[in-house]
Amino acid sequence: MGKVYLVGAGPGDPELMTLKAARALGRADVVLIDDLVSRGCLAHVPSGAIVIEVGKRGGCKSTPQAFIEKLMVLHVRQGRTVARLKGGDPFVFGRGGEEADALRAHGIEVEVIPGVTAGIAAPAALGIPVTDRRATHGVTFVTGHGAEVDWPALVRGRTTLVIYMGLARWREIRLELRRAGLADATPACIIQDGTSRTQKQVIATLGTLSAKGFGSPALIVVGDVVRFARGAALAPHAKAA
């Protein structure tokens, strides 16, 4: 039996992948790579290795998880070392926990290699320290994807909010945050393709931030720390692109 490395590729810039991740890729016979992962990360993969695209572009729309897990089990049982390369950190909104559990249930050895999550790196690329003590006592990573988030509780918590996958629901999320009492003047920003060459962002406030013109992958950051973003002092109420 081979083994599986569950590898975090980091947020976009391939140089933000860890040394441990690069070494694991160097040992791989098979690499399963997600959409969000920079292809630059594949520079560490041996030339003879099989590289399989398993994101939506790979055509696994219907049952991606089951399909991906099946593929890994198949290759490991043939004695291959598999690297499962996921964007950011595999355990942050990445279903890495589910994949590790499924593999271990098949008796497969899994080694998890953490990665730099977009929720820290993309704000940092703008100069935003998500837990800066001058502005907050903590940070909450939350998905904007589902409807089950307790937004009033998050507002009461008074931490920086880093919202993954929230772009499509930004109008509803903003409404929830306002209803919960968060002031319109609270600094907020959107960062698309954070740390990549194609990075773009808008810095505004809860009241003025618009998702228009932005696409996936993007993060929304809400909280006083956004005022530390480079350029924010020049355009605190900038209109969205």
Ligand X SMILES: C[S@@+](CC[C@H](N)C(=O)[O-])C[C@H]1O[C@@H](n2cnc3c(N)ncnc32)[C@H](O)[C@@H]1O
Instruction: Report, as residue numbers or ranges, the catalytic residues.
Output: 34, 56, 165
Site membership for ligand X, residue 173 (CB under 6 A): no
Determine contact, residues 164/219, Cβ cutoff 8 Å: yes
Between 141 and 228, CB nearer to ligand X: 141
Select the residue interacting with ligand X from 216, 235, 237, 239 (CB under 6 A).
216
Between 46 and 213, CB nearer to ligand X: 213
Q: What DSSP string describes 55-120? A: SGGGT--SSHHHHHHHHHHHHHHTT--EEEEESB-TTSSS-HHHHHHHHHHTT-EEEEE----HHH
Between 11 and 14, CB nearer to ligand X: 11
The partner residues of 133 in beta bridges, in order of sequence, read: none
Nearest to ligand X by Cβ — which residue?
88
Site membership for ligand X, residue 219 (CB under 6 A): yes
In the region spanning residues 124 to 143, those forming contacts with ligand X, defined by CB under 6 A, are none
> How many Cβ atoms from other residues are within 10 Å of residue 133's Cβ?
9
Query: Smallest distance, Å, CB 110 to ligand X?
Result: 16
Q: How far apart are CA 10 and CA 207, in angstroms?
A: 31
Select the residue interacting with ligand X from 6, 32, 80, 93 (CB under 6 A).
93
Give ∠ CA 14-17-18 in degrees, rounded to 5.
150
Using the rule CB under 6 A, give the single segment among 16-24, 45-53, 61-69, 185-193 that binds ligand X. Answer: 185-193
Please give the residue ranges that form the binding site for ligand X (CB under 6 A).
11-12, 36, 86-89, 92-94, 117-118, 122, 164-165, 191-196, 216-219
